[in-house]
């Protein structure tokens, strides 16, 4: 360790939705000795990075917000990226987080030092910092995934990823290829279709699409939200219960699955009159196996004169464009990779070494797992925000993040309370707790449509569900309401058993 490395009681890594949420909960408990390390020059995480045309949130803003920082705009139902970013800035400002934010500091390694019971944080510049506890909040959708296509390097035009949008590159009048048809592409395509000359959308496999209500509230609803006492809260509650009661059972092959399938088929039939195109847009798997796309303007964009959906597999990229396996070359001057993210790598590329020199990547070689998605046994005083199996497929991720933030703040409080009078305390999860948790996850996963035969970003290449929580948000909140003494070890640092 470098001599006199700067020390903080709690190091939060990442200033996105999760990191800011954790920081707010620490503050609310009167815990002010923390630093939020952020590699970029601004906060916002995915909402800072994803600035492609049309980028927005398809979860209603009243639900895509923290209950302790409620959303109170009575005009916006579905916020666009600038509005979510503005919400996050407001959270940081209102809760006094700004002095805690340390921008331009990329943490590249975390190493637990058994002798001092502290974490050593290595940075991209080689500097080191130390912390008693670490909260990682690096997101699940932060590492862009680029397609591994032959010839890509030889493409003569401009190519970039939706999460790394090139704002200096005007698409007006251009021949554009979009690779990928997930939620990002579905938001992007309608937005650019009208201004490019030609647009080729390369689809490897189709997604089920459900209609999306308007981004703004109807004036009457807007007036009700503005004037009726408790209306914002009630609306949020309604959204929450609807997701738990309708969407979750559908994803678990329950009674509402048929209803969702009917809605998706009707939407497709209503928006795509051409039966051949419709057939190419019809998935072969259950609704929800891939994340459902919510859009009322994606299909209409595909039926425009200047837009072509290409379903022949891509063979290679040439200097001039993209060639499909049937030998057709479609010229392009711009390729946009709407190809998603490296979602199952979790804390990568950070190198994380726990007690006794154990490596997290080795421990996770068959898929990431953590008790409650938060604790990894053998990595004391390390808390994961938005860790394995805590993404929600049916409800707003802010719900699990809020539960985690409150839980982690309680854990830090425990460390502070028990560590008084100079005693160093560490908190570690029991391996049996992780095993029991994993059994619950695996049992739930088997009931969901996510493990069906489709590709999605929730599972590893071998089909292990590592990203989504397969039960209700209500259950997750209950399990994380408070630290469970039976699942954890809270011991003086010098008494942690040798590993
Ligand atoms: P995604 O859902 O993972 O979609 C990636 C797309 O790229 C898929 O269509 C995939 O095809 C295709 N693809 C990947 N590699 C390819 C290759 N080598 N060749 C051809 N096609 C390839 O990524 P995303 O659209 O960026 O969305 C990721 C997640 O971000 C969403 O599911 C959602 O959770 C979140 N998001 C949310 C919003 C929102 O409104 N809240 C908006 C955007 C994104 P296959 O399907 O065949 O694999």
Beta carbon of 73 within 6 Å of any ligand 1 atom: no
Q: How far is the CA of 182 from the centre of ligand 1 (A)?
A: 4
Considering only CA atoms, which of 374, 380, 367 is closest in space to residue 118? 380
**Which residues is 101 bridged to in the sheet?**
36
Residue 477 three-state SS: helix
Task: Identify the residue whose C-alpha is closest to ligand 1 atom 33.
Answer: 183
For residue 1, being part of any structural domain is answered with no
Task: Identify the residue whose C-alpha is closest to ligand 1 atom 39.
Answer: 57
**Contact status, residue 389 vs residue 468, Cβ threshold 8 Å:** yes
**Contact status, residue 212 vs residue 58, Cβ threshold 8 Å:** yes
Q: How far is the CA of 471 from the centre of ligand 1 (A)?
A: 23
Residue 28 CA to residue 102 CA, distance in Å, equals 20
Pairing of strands 334-337, 329-331: unpaired
Q: Taking the alpha carbons of 445, 450, 456, 462 in that order, is the dihedral positive or negative?
A: positive
Alpha carbon 82 to its chain centroid, in Å, reads 17
Pull the structure tokens for residue 151. Answer: 């010839």
Beta carbon of 177 within 6 Å of any ligand 1 atom: no
Q: Are residues 306 and 346 in the same domain?
A: no
Task: Identify the residue whose C-alpha is closest to ligand 1 atom 36.
Answer: 183
Q: Are residues 333 and 349 in the same domain?
A: no
Please state the atom number of ligand 1 nearest to the C-alpha of residue 64: 41
Q: Taking the alpha carbons of 214, 216, 220, 225 in that order, is the dihedral positive or negative?
A: positive
User: What does 55-78 look like in DSSP terms, one character per residue?
Assistant: -B-SS-TTTSS-TTS----SSBSS
Q: Say what the pLDDT of residue 5 is.
A: 87
Provide the whole-model pTM.
0.96
Q: What is the pLDDT along the chain (499 residues), one digit of tens a residue?
A: 556 789 999 999 999 999 999 999 999 999 999 999 999 999 999 999 999 999 999 999 999 999 999 998 999 999 999 999 999 999 999 999 999 999 999 999 999 999 999 999 999 999 999 999 999 999 999 999 999 999 999 999 999 999 999 999 999 999 999 999 999 999 999 999 999 999 999 999 999 999 999 999 999 999 999 999 999 999 999 999 999 999 999 999 999 999 999 999 999 999 999 999 999 999 999 999 999 999 999 999 999 999 999 999 999 999 999 999 999 999 999 999 999 999 999 999 999 999 999 999 999 999 999 999 999 999 999 999 999 999 999 999 999 999 999 999 999 999 998 876 667 789 999 999 999 999 999 999 999 999 999 999 999 999 999 999 999 999 999 999 999 999 999 888 766 554 4
Determine whether 153 is exposed, middle or buried from the number of CB atoms within 10 Å of its CB (0-12, 13-18, 19+).
Answer: exposed
Q: How far is the CA of 234 from the centre of ligand 1 (A)?
A: 33
Please state the atom number of ligand 1 nearest to the C-alpha of residue 337: 7
Testing ligand 1's pocket by substitution, the residue of 161, 184, 338, 467 carrying the most ligand atoms inside 8 A of its CB is: 184
Helices (H) and strands (E) in the chain, counts: 14, 20
Mind listing the pLDDT tens digit for each residue in 457-484? 999 999 999 999 999 999 999 999 999 9
Pull the structure tokens for residue 258. Answer: 């048929």
Q: Are residues 202 and 242 in the same domain?
A: yes
Beta carbon of 179 within 6 Å of any ligand 1 atom: yes
Beta carbon of 49 within 6 Å of any ligand 1 atom: no
For residue 497, being part of any structural domain is answered with no
Pairing of strands 7-13, 209-210: unpaired
Mind listing the pLDDT tens digit for each residue in 152-197? 999 999 999 999 999 999 999 999 999 999 999 999 999 999 999 9
Q: What is the CATH number of the domain that holds 355?
A: 3.50.50.60
Query: Domain boundary residue among 337, 354, 369?
Result: 337
Please state the atom number of ligand 1 nearest to the C-alpha of residue 291: 32
Residue 243 CA to residue 301 CA, distance in Å, equals 28
C-alpha distance from residue 310 to each of 87, 251, 337, 433 (Å):
38, 29, 15, 48
Residues 6 or more apart in contact with residue 120 via CB below 8 angstroms: 1, 5, 109, 110, 111, 112, 113, 128, 129, 130
Beta carbon of 328 within 6 Å of any ligand 1 atom: no
Q: How far is the CA of 401 from the centre of ligand 1 (A)?
A: 22
Query: Domain boundary residue among 337, 359, 384?
Result: 337
Q: Are residues 205 and 83 in the same domain?
A: no
Q: How far is the CA of 336 from the centre of ligand 1 (A)?
A: 12
Please state the atom number of ligand 1 nearest to the C-alpha of residue 148: 18
Domain range for 111: 7-143+342-492
Q: How far is the CA of 228 from the centre of ligand 1 (A)?
A: 39
Beta carbon of 141 within 6 Å of any ligand 1 atom: yes
Q: Say what the pLDDT of residue 273 is.
A: 96
Q: Are residues 229 and 132 in the same domain?
A: no
Determine whether 200 is exposed, middle or buried from the number of CB atoms within 10 Å of its CB (0-12, 13-18, 19+).
Answer: buried
Residue 162 CA to residue 152 CA, distance in Å, equals 16
Q: Are residues 378 and 241 in the same domain?
A: no
For residue 97, being part of any structural domain is answered with yes
For residue 368, being part of any structural domain is answered with yes
Q: Are residues 299 and 398 in the same domain?
A: no
Residue 212 CA to residue 79 CA, distance in Å, equals 13
Residues 6 or more apart in contact with residue 475 via CB below 8 angstroms: none
Q: Are residues 367 and 291 in the same domain?
A: no
Residue with tokens 């308007």: 214
Q: Strand 314-317's sheet: what is its strand order?
A: 314-317, 321-324, 329-331
> Around Cβ 97, how many Cβ atoms within 10 Å?
21
Beta carbon of 180 within 6 Å of any ligand 1 atom: yes
For residue 499, being part of any structural domain is answered with no
Residue 393 CA to residue 289 CA, distance in Å, equals 10
Q: Say what the pLDDT of residue 3 is.
A: 63
Q: Are residues 158 and 102 in the same domain?
A: no
Testing ligand 1's pocket by substitution, the residue of 54, 56, 146, 180 carrying the most ligand atoms inside 8 A of its CB is: 180
Task: Identify the residue whose C-alpha is closest to ligand 1 atom 19.
Answer: 147
Residue 316 CA to residue 329 CA, distance in Å, equals 9
Residue 424 CA to residue 442 CA, distance in Å, equals 36
Q: Are residues 318 and 365 in the same domain?
A: no
Q: Are residues 131 and 162 in the same domain?
A: no
**Contact status, residue 213 vs residue 190, Cβ threshold 8 Å:** no
Q: Say what the pLDDT of residue 1 is.
A: 58
Task: Identify the residue whose C-alpha is closest to ligand 1 atom 17.
Answer: 147
Domains of the chain: total: 2
> Around Cβ 382, how many Cβ atoms within 10 Å?
27
Q: Say what the pLDDT of residue 53 is.
A: 98
Q: What are phi and psi of 312, to 5 degrees?
A: -70, 135
Phi-psi region of 190 (alpha: psi -120 to 50; beta: other; left: phi over 0): alpha
For residue 2, being part of any structural domain is answered with no
Beta carbon of 79 within 6 Å of any ligand 1 atom: no
For residue 438, being part of any structural domain is answered with yes
Q: Say what the pLDDT of residue 126 is.
A: 97
Beta carbon of 339 within 6 Å of any ligand 1 atom: yes
Residue 390 CA to residue 399 CA, distance in Å, equals 10
Q: Say what the pLDDT of residue 498 is.
A: 47
Residue 110 CA to residue 173 CA, distance in Å, equals 48
Beta carbon of 232 within 6 Å of any ligand 1 atom: no
Query: Domain boundary residue among 337, 370, 390?
Result: 337
**Contact status, residue 427 vs residue 381, Cβ threshold 8 Å:** yes
Q: Are residues 331 and 352 in the same domain?
A: no
For residue 12, being part of any structural domain is answered with yes
């Amino acid at each position: 360790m470098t001599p006199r490395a700067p020390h903080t009681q709690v190091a939060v890594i990442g200033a996105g939705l999760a990191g800011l949420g954790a920081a707010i909960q620490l503050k609310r408990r009167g815990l002010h000795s923390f630093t939020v390390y952020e590699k970029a020059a601004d906060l916002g995480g995915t909402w800072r990075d994803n600035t492609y045309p049309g980028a927005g949130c398809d979860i209603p803003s009243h639900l895509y917000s923290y209950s302790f920082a409620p959303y109170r705009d009575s005009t916006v139902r579905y916020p666009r990226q600038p509005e979510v970013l503005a919400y996050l800035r407001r959270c940081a400002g209102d809760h006094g987080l700004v002095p805690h934010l340390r921008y331009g500091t990329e943490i590249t390694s975390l190493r637990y030092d058994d002798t001092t019971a502290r974490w050593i944080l290595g940075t991209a510049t080689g500097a080191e910092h130390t912390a008693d506890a670490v909260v990682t909040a690096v997101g699940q959708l932060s590492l862009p995934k680029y397609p591994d296509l032959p010839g890509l390097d030889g493409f003569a035009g401009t190519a970039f990823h939706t999460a790394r949008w090139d704002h200096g590159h005007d698409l007006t009048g251009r021949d554009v290829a979009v690779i990928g048809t997930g939620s990002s592409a579905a938001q992007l395509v309608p937005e650019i279709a009208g201004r490019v000359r030609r647009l080729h959308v390369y689809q490897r496999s189709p997604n089920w699409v459900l209609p999306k209500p308007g981004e703004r509230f109807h004036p009457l609803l807007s007036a009700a939200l503005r004037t009726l006492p408790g209306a914002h809260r009630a609306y949020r509650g309604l959204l929450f219960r609807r997701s738990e009661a309708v969407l979750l059972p559908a994803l678990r092959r329950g009674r509402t699955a048929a209803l969702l399938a009917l809605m998706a088929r009707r939407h497709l039939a209503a928006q795509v009159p051409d039966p051949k195109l419709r057939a190419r847009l019809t998935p072969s798997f259950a609704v929800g196996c891939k994340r459902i796309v919510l859009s009322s303007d994606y299909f209409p964009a595909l039926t425009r004169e200047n837009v072509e959906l290409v379903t022949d597999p891509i063979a290679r990229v040439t200097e001039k464009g993209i060639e499909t396996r049937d030998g057709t070359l479609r010229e392009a001057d711009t390729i946009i990779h709407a190809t998603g993210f490296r979602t199952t790598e979790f804390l990568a590329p950070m190198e994380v070494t726990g007690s006794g020199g154990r490596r997290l990547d080795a421990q996770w070689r068959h898929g990431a797992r953590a008790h409650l998605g938060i604790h990894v046994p053998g990595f004391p005083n390390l808390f994961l925000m938005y860790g394995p199996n805590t993404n929600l497929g049916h409800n707003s991720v802010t719900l699990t993040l809020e539960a985690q933030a409150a839980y982690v703040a309680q854990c830090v409080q425990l460390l502070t309370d028990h560590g008084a009078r100079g005693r160093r305390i560490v908190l570690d999860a029991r391996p049996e707790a992780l095993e029991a948790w994993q059994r619950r996850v695996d049992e739930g996963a088997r009931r969901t449509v996510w493990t069906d035969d489709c590709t999605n970003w929730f599972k590893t290449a071998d089909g292990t569900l590592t990203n989504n929580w397969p039960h209700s948000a209500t259950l997750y909140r209950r399990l994380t309401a408070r630290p469970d003494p039976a699942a954890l070890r809270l011991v003086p640092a010098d008494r942690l058993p040798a590993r």
